[in-house]
Structure 1
Amino acid sequence: MTLLARAWEMKMTDSIIHEVRAIREQHAASFGFDLDRILADLQARQNKHAAEGRTFLLLPVHHRSLTWHCSGLASLTAEFQR
């Protein structure tokens, strides 16, 4: 890939990331940044789409992050048991 192609690809990726973050920010703001309300809305949307016959893609968990999470959880659990 040429340098110009990579620069364009990075710019497009950055603009997509910024757009997604802006949409998430607007969505969160519409619920006063209340996580319970945000989650309830997302679950209602998911249920609505599922009722319409849409399917959802469940991505596998990255092994390294799962290992880190589990080991982090184990160390926190051990710390609380002291």
Structure 2
Amino acid sequence: MALVHLKNAGITDPTKIDESKTKAVRLASEKVGKDLYRQIYDITFIEKNGPRIEVITSSEASAQECSMSGVDVFVVSRRLGGP
């Protein structure tokens, strides 16, 4: 869903992404209800011509359904500190 949001915002297109280099890291998962969890992911997409696009996503999931809510997507414009 993050890639759909990026396409709709005119930031990139799925055909430009090198899927083999896409990296998703779960940052947090917390129980917010009976069989309902809020999950936060840091996802890095790399376009075939080199540019990186990093997003943070927030959504709710359950054991029955991986998507129990819409997905909030935040584009990381700058990363401060770290490697």
TM-score, normalized by length of structure 1? Answer: 0.22
Q: As a proportion of its length, which structure holds more helix?
A: 1
Larger Rg computed on CA atoms: 1
Q: As a proportion of its length, which structure holds more strand?
A: 2
